[in-house]
Amino acid sequence: MAVCCILFTIPNYSIDTAFCKMLIHKNGGNIVSDTTSSNRSSIYSNQTSHFVILIIAIITAGLSQGMLLPVLAIFLEKMGVSSTVNGLNAAALYVGSFAMTLAAERLLGVLGFKKLMLCGLLLVVITLPLFPLYPSIAFWFVLRMLVGIGDSAIHYSAQLWVLMAAPAEKRGRNLSIYGMSYGIGFSIGPLGIRLLDWGMMAPFLIMTIVFIIVTVLVWIKLPDGKPAKEEGSEPQKGRFGRSYRWAWYALIPALLYGYMEAAMNSNFPVYGLRIGLTTDAIAFLLPFIGIGGLVLQLPLGMLSDRFGRKKILMLSGSIGGLLFVLVPLVGTNIWMMAALFAIAGGLIGSFFSLGLAYAADILPKMYLPAANVLASFHFNFGSIVGPAVGGKGIEMGSASSLFWVLGGCYILFAAMGFVFREKQNKIQA
């Protein structure tokens, strides 16, 4: 049902031969495709099936991350592992994802969109069943890294297409739809805690089966292809440096979103157990952040198309940050906590997609692959730091610091918006 709702909002998008054969090059800053009018009818005839598969792949990647973080955090807490080590172990997922971003652009050029996505899916399929078979902190660290690499490969191939294909006037909406797809999976993932009633193997086996199905769908149904190399393009180092210089403020939301996502899914289960919540209550509360993001992601994206990304980012960051700061004040009141999570999650749940859309507004189109890599870099760095900082704060006896630091970061980001000026950064390619 959720996938169908997303599809009805984008009638003009397809993932097919035309997309995979897209030739990306400098032509006045525009994306040029080799699609011709003669084959356009066949493209539209199967656009829905291809796009459904892409959406399912993104949802599945979110599902694996949303399940692994809280399930393994609960295991480690019950094993008597310190909250700091628990947080550091959780960060391994994003260490793997971070490592993948270092090679993502080159791998996409060599393998193409479909093969890169298949490699990511297969890596996760092989890795997931090994978690319950070998309950070791060190081994789980390695396995989480491998899952992070796989999920990052799935995300990069899909995300770059959405970013480069979206017209400027609909960029916020389309990237919000991408974020909604991931958010659906990430919101459902924590419900895997309930599967533990059937045994330690249950959530991992079910997740493996889901990934196998998606792998088969991608392999059979999606077309193959890769972006063409740019002739005489600027060296990578120059594009990365200029992307930072021109769009540094637009790249910060990816870091903050990664920090929030990883800290909440890794540290909140520990926080909840420490203040007296049950595992069922934790499993009930965690999805509310994602649910709020799903509800507000598309409206915020459309508002940013109309009123500007920066204004929406600043407003969402300031209000969302304040709501996070208020979480410790409600104690163990589940319904108040759920309301705060839903509203705060709704406001900052679109930070990654809106930040990337804002960067695309500022930068020339030829810089977008570099900006995509940098945004992924920031997301993974935040995801690594988040569990470590949150875990250390809990271990030092201040569980509430998890939300104080998190909320403070978003409020600080909103304040930094008054300093950033973009008018000199709209460089023509």
Per-residue pLDDT tens over the stretch 178-226: 777 887 887 788 788 888 888 888 889 999 999 999 999 988 887 776 6
Structure tokens at 422: 């973009």
Structure tokens at 6: 């997303």
Task: Decide: 159 and 372 in contact? Cβ < 8 Å.
Answer: yes
Write phi, then psi, for 23 (nearest 5 degrees).
Answer: -100, 115
In DSSP terms, 337 is beta-bridged to: none
Task: Decide: 66 and 186 in contact? Cβ < 8 Å.
Answer: yes
Cα 146 off chain centre by: 17
Structure tokens at 46: 């199967």
Nearest to 172 by CA among 357, 422, 312, 372: 357
Q: Rounded to an integer, what distance in angstroms lies between the CA atom of residue 119 and that of residue 123?
A: 6
pLDDT of residue 425: 47
Task: Decide: 251 and 422 in contact? Cβ < 8 Å.
Answer: no
Q: Rounded to an integer, what distance in angstroms lies between the CA atom of residue 167 and that of residue 164?
A: 8
pLDDT of residue 237: 57
Task: Decide: 186 and 261 in contact? Cβ < 8 Å.
Answer: yes
Kindly tell me the sign of the dihedral angle through the C-alpha atoms of 43, 366, 307, 249.
Answer: positive
pLDDT of residue 269: 85
pLDDT of residue 171: 63
Which parts of the chain register pLDDT below 50?
Answer: 1-46, 231-232, 424-429
pLDDT of residue 411: 95
Instruction: Sort residue 308 into left (φ over 0), alpha (ψ -120 to 50) or beta.
Output: left
Where are the alpha helices (H) located in 349-398, listed in sequence order?
A: 351-362, 368-395
pLDDT of residue 189: 84
pLDDT of residue 225: 67
> Residue 201 is which amino acid?
M
Nearest to 64 by CA among 237, 240, 218, 184: 184
Task: Decide: 361 and 301 in contact? Cβ < 8 Å.
Answer: no
Instruction: Return the SS3 of 363.
Output: coil
Instruction: Return the SS3 of 32.
Output: strand
